[in-house]
């Protein structure tokens, strides 16, 4: 299409041959991106003037956080532990629930192609919704508190681990599966002994990785009332208790760092 609008340049080589050099797409893409930037700036009321005149407010807040209020840690333990518990339980239950879903979404295990396609669509729809929106809906159904947060994390885990798991199952080596089926094992038995041991390490590793990310997510779920440390962050930012916010963020950074180290150690062991 593009080549028809802007015909390729003809170059006569010294031996009399004519070669075509396709026109660069760069100017076209640049114009497109420039238009998109202009429109976005218009819709979002972007202005450099505001940034230059008012950005000091942002740094003022950071400076106000600077010596964190160390004593504030006493208020932090319970919400911090709640955050970890929410992500633990959500990830654990989610990782278990996802197993049958991922198996049903794998084309090479399920004999019926359309069943696999339906489960793939379900998994991708689950993945689409932002976690905070799921959490918000969950607070209406399960009430305010950590249960709603755990449910949101569970749903996210199902979507994320599910996709990676069915991809791993589909890429698994099928030779032993077929051999076991041919000697009269059922499909389930063949899956249990041929495919499952193959995908187990990467499944556990993916789940652990998802858990790491979930701890970060769990920290914001409190903003919609779904339990954890987010509620405290929201309140303190509203009351301008910035030294408390500084301490909360510090505690969060340390917690996330420790959990990442532990999980990374186990993931390296698995693979």
Site for another protein, residues 235 to 254, rule: CB under 8 A? 237-238, 245, 249, 252-253
Tokens of 208: 């652990």
44 is a site residue for another protein (CB under 8 A): yes
What is the rounded CA–CA span in Å between residue 44 and residue 140?
31
81 is a site residue for another protein (CB under 8 A): yes
First to last CA, the chain: 47
Tokens of 90: 């959500």
Binding mask 152-191 for another protein (x = CB under 8 A): ----------------------------------------
Helix axes 73-104, 230-238, angle to 10 degrees: 130
Tokens of 248: 């909360």
Q: What DSSP string describes 82-112? A: HHHHHHHHHHHHHHHHHHHHHHHT-TTT-S-
144 is a site residue for another protein (CB under 8 A): yes
Size, binding site for another protein by CB under 8 A: 61
Q: Which of 45, 111, 113, 183 lies at the binding interface for another protein (CB under 8 A)?
A: 45
Residue carrying the six token digits 């010596």: 67
Residues that bind another protein (CB under 8 A): 36-37, 39-41, 43-47, 50-51, 54-55, 57-58, 61-62, 81-82, 84-86, 88-89, 92, 124-125, 128-130, 132-133, 136-137, 140-147, 150, 216, 219-220, 223-224, 227, 230, 233-234, 237-238, 245, 249, 252-253, 256-257
């Amino acid at each position: 299409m593009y080549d028809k609008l802007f015909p390729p340049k003809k170059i006569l080589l010294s031996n009399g041959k004519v070669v075509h050099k396709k026109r660069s797409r760069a100017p076209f893409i640049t114009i497109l991106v420039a238009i998109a930037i202009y429109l976005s700036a218009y819709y979002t009321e972007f202005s450099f003037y505001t940034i230059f005149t008012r950005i000091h407010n942002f740094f003022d807040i950071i400076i106000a956080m600077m010596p964190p209020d160390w004593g504030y840690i006493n208020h932090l333990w319970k919400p911090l532990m709640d955050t970890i518990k929410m992500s633990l339980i959500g990830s654990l239950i989610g990782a278990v629930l996802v197993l049958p879903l991922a198996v049903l979404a794998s084309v090479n295990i399920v004999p019926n192609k359309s069943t696999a396609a339906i489960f793939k669509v379900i998994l991708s729809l689950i993945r689409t919704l932002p976690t905070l929106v799921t959490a918000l809906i969950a607070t209406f159904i399960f009430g305010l508190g950590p249960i709603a947060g755990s449910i949101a994390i569970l749903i996210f885990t199902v979507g994320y681990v599910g996709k990676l798991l069915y991809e791993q199952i589909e890429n698994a080596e099928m030779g032993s599966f077929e051999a076991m089926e041919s000697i009269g094992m059922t499909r389930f038995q063949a899956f249990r002994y041929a495919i499952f041991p193959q995908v187990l390490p990467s499944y556990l590793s993916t789940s652990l990785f998802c858990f790491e990310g979930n701890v970060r997510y769990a920290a914001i779920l409190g903003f919609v009332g779904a339990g954890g440390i987010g509620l405290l962050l929201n309140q303190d930012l509203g009351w301008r208790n910035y030294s408390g916010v500084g301490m909360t963020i510090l505690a969060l950074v340390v917690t996330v760092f420790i959990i990442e180290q532990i999980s990374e150690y186990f993931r390296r062991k698995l693979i």
